[in-house]
Structure formats: C-alpha cells, structure tokens
Structure 1
Amino acid sequence: MKNLIILGAGTAGTTMANLLQKRLKNTEWNIKIIDKNTIHYYQPGFLFLPFDLYKPKQVKKPIEQFIPSGVELIQQEIDKIEVEANEVLLTDGTKVPYDVLIIATGTDIAPQEIDGMLGEHWHQDVFDFYTYTGAKNLRDKLREWKGGELVVHIAEMPIKCPVAPLEFAFLADSFFRNKEMRDKVNITYVTPLGGAFTKPKATEALNYLLEEKGIRIVPDFNIESVDGANKKILDYGGKEVNYDLLVTVPTNMGSPVMERSGIGDDLNFVPTNKATLQTLVKDNIFAIGDATNIPASKAGSVAHFESEILTENVMRYIKDEPLKEDFDGHANCFIETGNGKALLIDFNYTHEPVTGTFPFPGVGPLRLLKESHMNHLGKLAFRWIYWNMLIKGKHIPFVSAQMSEAGKDFSNN
C-alpha cells in the first residue's frame, strides 16, 4: 500500500481529503490527514462575531464530522517534515511515512512579531478578530464600549482574506450607527498599502466607500511598535496613530513546522509553483491554500479553486503524467459594506477586479464592484455552501476553478 498524507484539516486540507478519497477509493492508496485540533472553524464568520451578527455555535463544528469515510484522521501535533526520509514526525515521536505529501497547514496571526503588541492590553484594548477567541472577546468589548478612537489596522501583507479588515471598518460604521452612537466614534483605517486594497480598480471603489462613510485612511503605515501605555501605534517613519480601541491584523505567518523542517520562507510559507501547486521543495510534496507563497489571495475561495486543480495534478503525479499548469490565481470575494449591502470582486493573477455580472454574463444576479443587497445575501449564503458543499469536495454550480472573462467589463482595465 502507498500513503498520501495531508497536513492540516482546515478548509484546504479537508476539501482535499474529500476530493481525493473519491478518486483513490478502492486503490492501493491510503489517505491520512493530520491535525492536532478537534474543532473546524468557519473563519469567514469571525468577521460577524464581534457585531453579534453570528453566534459562536454557527462558526464551529467537530473536525471529524467532515473527514470522509476511508480517510484516517490523526489528531496529533506535527513536529516536522523529514523531507529526505519521506516521513512526518509527530511530537509524540511517531513517524508517519508518505509517498505523496500535501501541505495544508494554513496561516496564523503572530502578534509577537510586533514590538509591544502583546501584553496586558492584549484583548483588553488591543484585539484581533482573526481567531475565534479574539473575535469572541472583541464582541464582549464592543457590547459595552462607550466610544472614542477606533483604529482598524493591518500590520503587513500577506494576510488571510485581504478584504476582511476593510469589511470590519464598514461593519463597525453600520454597527455604531444602529446603536445611535456613530457620532461618538472616530474610525481610522491604517494600512501598509498605498490605498484600501491591493488592486487599483478595487482600491478606487473602496477608497470612495471609506470617504463616504467618514472613515479616515492612513496609508503607507509600516508599524514598528505598539505603545500600550499611551495607546498609540508608531511606524518606522515616525508617524503615530492614537487609539482607544485597536483592532489589528497582526503579521500572518505559516506554520512553525515549516521553519523546523527547513522548507519555508521568512514567513514560513512554502515555496510553490503558482500554476501547478507542486512545491519547489521536492516533487512528491504539494501545497495548497494559505500555506503556500504563491501571489494569490489567502482566502477560502482560492483554496476551493486550487483544490480542483491540485486533485487533478496529484492524480497525474501518481500516474507519472505531466502536471497541468492550470491555476490562474482565481479569487472570488464578497466585501461586506454595512447596512445589508456588499460588493463582489472576481480576479486572478492577470486580471484585477472590474465591473460586470456574476456568475451569468449580462444576467447576474450578482453585480461586480457594485454595492447591492443581493451581494450581501450571497455572503450570508456562503456559510451554508461552506459547511454543506465546499469542504465536502462538492462542485459549486456555475463557478469554475479558473476565472471566466464572460460578463466582465475590461474596457478600462
């Protein structure tokens, strides 16, 4: 028998387990998935937790519920990958051999990378919402907060879901208006980017929305430290931004397993071919989702699109066939803008977000780069799609792994 090992049972790893079990059932291949955690989190839901729009029970379920029959779940902590020996070493000393390895270990926040970010003020006046605990603690803070200077901050790129901090700022504006206390809150959006987003067309639309909602933007802010005692953040150029409540997206880093294994970059992301998803580490090692260093968004939709292409390439590798260079960096993201509206953006390596319709050309019903209530409903519907289709490896109708140009206006691109 041969062994295919998947590291990580998050969005990407669970999806791959489901897709590959269908393809490798009743063959000589055993599939095992390794993850120390017992809970699977719907991470897009963390955005809604602080505003009491979702309940905690709506964003978490047991991991084992989504592991298909025939796939062995090993709930142990990974020490490192022994690349030359083709083995995964667990912290209890167990060695798990593999013939093919898929790295799907994701990315986590690393607040310790910013001087002064951690301390007594962490989850008191300084919060993240990229973790379940952070989002839940921020919810408790917002329930009783009386107002002041709210700063929404990004430490550095790349981060999971690049639009999430913007969404937080927009939802905060709506939240405080609904509580009839928007006049008591100043919202400032602080980013290391030159504008609101990584793509020019989307930045133009999003900068306009920030201005319309009275949210101040501080661009090109490269944070050096957090001064918790005086409640301010400082950048390397000498700029300072004061806060009463700091909602930050700290440095995002790949798994420490990659550092211990000697295969990650400076942020522990795995060097990966951006078109095939085969790593540059060794031919029998592949990577997917947030764990890679490819220049695509670190978002659930990207992992979903990658999974279809990676499944095909793993099968081709097993059969000793040439890999397909099919992944085009496709990302599809809803951007909550508050007040029951959202934007939708669809882009890839070569095409930035533009206006148009999705998924049907000229029909929609979703509109690209335009606020609408229908887009907001699409965002909410995605939670059901995620739990019932996406991580179970079911194809989502009318949405292709590669970006379609149909229905999009590239005239000014």
Structure 2
Amino acid sequence: MRILVVGGGMGGTIFANHLARRIHHEMKTGKARITMLSASHEHVYQPGWLYVAMGRATPDELVREQQSLLEPGIEFHVDPVEEFHLAENHVKCKSGKVHEYDLIVISTGSRALPEKVPGLKENSINCYTAENAVEFFKQLSDFKGGRIVVTVGLPHKCPMIPLEITFAMHDFIKDRGLLDKTEFYYTYPIGRVHSLENVAKWAAPEFDRMGIKYETLFNMKEVDGKNAQVLSEEGGAVKYDLLVAVPPHKGQEVIEKNGLGENGWIPTNRSSLHMEGEHG
C-alpha cells in the first residue's frame, strides 16, 4: 500500500504521523509506505502569527524543520505537486518526477487573499504571514488612540480568529494604558458575533462588559482608504483609524489549476472527508 500525503502543513503532518503510528508494523515489513510531498522544508506553526502580531513571539520561534516533525519511516520530499492525475493514481511534481500511489491525501491548505476586497490589502493589517504579523505589531505599537475596526471576510480559516484577535488587541491596548483613548468596533458577516451560536452567546456579553461595540450582518464590499472607511454590501459604512482584517481565503492555486474544486476548495463528504464528484 503506497500512501501519498500532499502538503506538509499541520493537517498533512498530523495525519501522516497518526497513520505511521497505526501501521508501524506494516511499514517496517514493507507492506505499506508513506510519502509526503511539500513545497517547503520548513514547517510553520501558523496560529503563532497572532502572538507575533502582539509582540509575544518572534517568527523564528514558529518554524521547525519539517523532516524533524515526522515519524521515522515517512519518506519526505520538498517537491511541490503541479499536476494531479487522480484517474491514473499518480501526481507530477515541479521537478518532473512522478509519484504513484494507492491512496492519496490532499492537504494543501488555504491562503489569505486580502486583494479580493478592493482597498483591503492597501489599508489594513492582518496576521497571516510572518511579514504581515510583524507589520501588525509595528502598527499596533504605534497606535496612540482612535477607533480600531475589525472586519471579516468569508470564507476564512480558524473560526475563532476574529474574536481572538479582538480580545488580544484589547489586552494589548489595556496594557499600554490607552483604553480610555480607544474604541473597538467589531463587524461580522452574519446575524450574530460568531458563526457558532454558543460562542456568540458567550462573546456578545463579553463585548458589552468590555465596551467593545459590534455590528452584525456586515459583509465587506470595499475599503475607502481616502476617507478611512469600510463599506458593506448592506450599504453600511464604518470609519476607522486602524483597520484589522480577517481576509477572505481561497484554497491553493494548484487545486484550482487542476480543476479539483472551485476557488481551490475540494468538495468532500462531511463525515468521511472523501472527495466527492467525478474525482471522488
């Protein structure tokens, strides 16, 4: 059994390691083989970018050698997949090498795309890359008062990040003694402050207690940098002094190019995570 894992991020790494532990004997006797293909030799702990944005960590603390995180016996190659030939059970990599498999696990992840919303990239900060997180910390550190607006695009990974980032900034501003000079304004695309109902029921009273204002049913349309305001699809406009974005996300470009799913998202069965449609 040849198992191919495409993607060396958190999902691919956790899957490959769990499987390697479960089929340790089969791997040792040569009955099974796990191969991982990644675009980088580095593994980045992406949730840590929020800590970098708050000055609680540095980017180098969040990076490890991918090979060092894998169970012994997992074959690892830095050679990103460019072509998926699922009907023929093989992939073609950037190097030109072809990897055949009996079972494939696609774990290529997602990417933040602030450029999808006009004006968002140029006029906001976010914490989805090392560079963005460092810039976030710089701008937050330079902030001397005014209105901080949190704006949220859909879809985005990690459902908790809009709340996490708001509460973390509140602590940051409080520690600097600037709460009395700062207004927090949180926006969210649906009719409550979080997609999970129980979380929303907890968070809204917390916002009230902390003096954080919020507006629901606010779907970003564009950012008017000249007048420092975010415009919504619903016709609203919110002024900001510092705009913090949770940008909309797409899946990886290679998934789109290979026609495996619109916007890079592979349609899957919710329960089994098997691919659906003609490729499944």
TM-score after normalising by structure 2: 0.92
2:55 to 48, 52, 57: 52
Residue 88 of structure 2: SS of its match in structure 1? coil
Residue 40 (structure 1) aligned with residue 43 (structure 2): yes
Query: Which residue pairs with 1:278 in the alignment?
Result: 274
Query: Which residue pairs with 1:6 in the alignment?
Result: 5
Query: Which residue pairs with 1:186 in the alignment?
Result: 183
State the shift of 1:203 in Å.
Answer: 1.0
Greater fraction helix: 2
State the shift of 1:281 in Å.
Answer: 4.5
State the shift of 1:213 in Å.
Answer: 0.9
Q: May I ask how many residue pairs the two structures share in their alignment?
A: 276
Contact 1:41 1:59 in 2 (8 A): yes
What is the one-letter code of the residue matched to 1:145? F
Residue 259 (structure 1) aligned with residue 262 (structure 2): no
Query: Which residue pairs with 1:386 in the alignment?
Result: none
What is the one-letter code of the residue matched to 1:43? Q
What is the one-letter code of the residue matched to 2:151? H
For 2:100 and 2:227, locate their aligned partners in 1 and report how far apart those are by CA, in whole Å. 52
For 1:169 and 1:113, locate their aligned partners in 2 and report how far apart those are by CA, in whole Å. 22
Alpha-carbon deviations, 1:39-84, whole Å to 9, x = none?
2122222222222222333322221211222212111222131122
Q: Pairwise mapping of residues 168-317 of structure 1 onto structure 2 (< 5 A)?
A: 168-264=165-261, 266-281=262-277
State the shift of 1:229 in Å.
Answer: 2.5
Query: Which residue pairs with 2:151 in the alignment?
Result: 153
Q: Which runs of 4+ in 1 moved over 4 A?
A: none
Residue 81 of structure 1: SS of its match in structure 2? strand
Residue 126 (structure 1) aligned with residue 124 (structure 2): yes
Q: Pairwise mapping of residues 397-408 of structure 1 onto structure 2 (< 5 A)?
A: none
For 2:89 and 2:189, locate their aligned partners in 1 and report how far apart those are by CA, in whole Å. 39
Contact 1:129 1:247 in 2 (8 A): no
For 2:184 and 2:43, locate their aligned partners in 1 and report how far apart those are by CA, in whole Å. 32
What is the one-letter code of the residue matched to 1:30? R
Q: Pairwise mapping of residues 102-113 of structure 1 onto structure 2 (< 5 A)?
A: 102-113=105-116
For 1:72 and 1:228, locate their aligned partners in 2 and report how far apart those are by CA, in whole Å. 49
Please identify, of 42-51 and 208-217, the stretch whose mean Cα deviation from structure 2 is larger.
42-51
For 1:78 and 1:141, locate their aligned partners in 2 and report how far apart those are by CA, in whole Å. 37
From the superposition, tell whether residues 201 and 136 of structure 1 become closer, same or farther in structure 2 (CA, over 3 Å): same
For 1:186 and 1:54, locate their aligned partners in 2 and report how far apart those are by CA, in whole Å. 26
Alpha-carbon deviations, 1:272-293, whole Å to 9, x = none?
112122211578x6xxxxxxxx
Please identify, of 165-174 and 54-63, the stretch whose mean Cα deviation from structure 2 is larger.
54-63
For 1:92 and 1:227, locate their aligned partners in 2 and report how far apart those are by CA, in whole Å. 44
1:76 to 59, 75, 79: 79
Contact 2:188 2:194 in 1 (8 A): no
For 1:231 and 1:219, locate their aligned partners in 2 and report how far apart those are by CA, in whole Å. 20
Contact 1:263 1:281 in 2 (8 A): no
What is the one-letter code of the residue matched to 2:132? G
Residue 139 (structure 1) aligned with residue 137 (structure 2): yes
Query: Which residue pairs with 1:392 in the alignment?
Result: none
1:25 to 24, 27, 31: 27
Residue 267 of structure 1: SS of its match in structure 2? helix
Residue 98 (structure 1) aligned with residue 98 (structure 2): no
For 1:255 and 1:50, locate their aligned partners in 2 and report how far apart those are by CA, in whole Å. 24
2:163 to 151, 163, 166: 166
TM-score after normalising by structure 1: 0.63
Query: Which residue pairs with 2:15 in the alignment?
Result: 16
Unmatched segments (≥5 aa) in structure 2: none
For 2:83 and 2:248, locate their aligned partners in 1 and report how far apart those are by CA, in whole Å. 22
For 2:69 and 2:259, locate their aligned partners in 1 and report how far apart those are by CA, in whole Å. 31
For 1:178 and 1:137, locate their aligned partners in 2 and report how far apart those are by CA, in whole Å. 19
The higher relative CO (CA closer than 8 Å, separation ≥ 6) is in: 2
For 1:192 and 1:46, locate their aligned partners in 2 and report how far apart those are by CA, in whole Å. 23
Alpha-carbon deviations, 1:218-239, whole Å to 9, x = none?
1111111122222221112221
Residue 66 (structure 1) aligned with residue 90 (structure 2): no
For 2:96 and 2:115, locate their aligned partners in 1 and report how far apart those are by CA, in whole Å. 28
Please identify, of 271-280 and 20-29, the stretch whose mean Cα deviation from structure 2 is larger.
20-29
Contact 2:7 2:106 in 1 (8 A): yes
Contact 1:5 1:101 in 2 (8 A): yes
Alpha-carbon deviations, 1:227-254, whole Å to 9, x = none?
2222221112221111121110111111
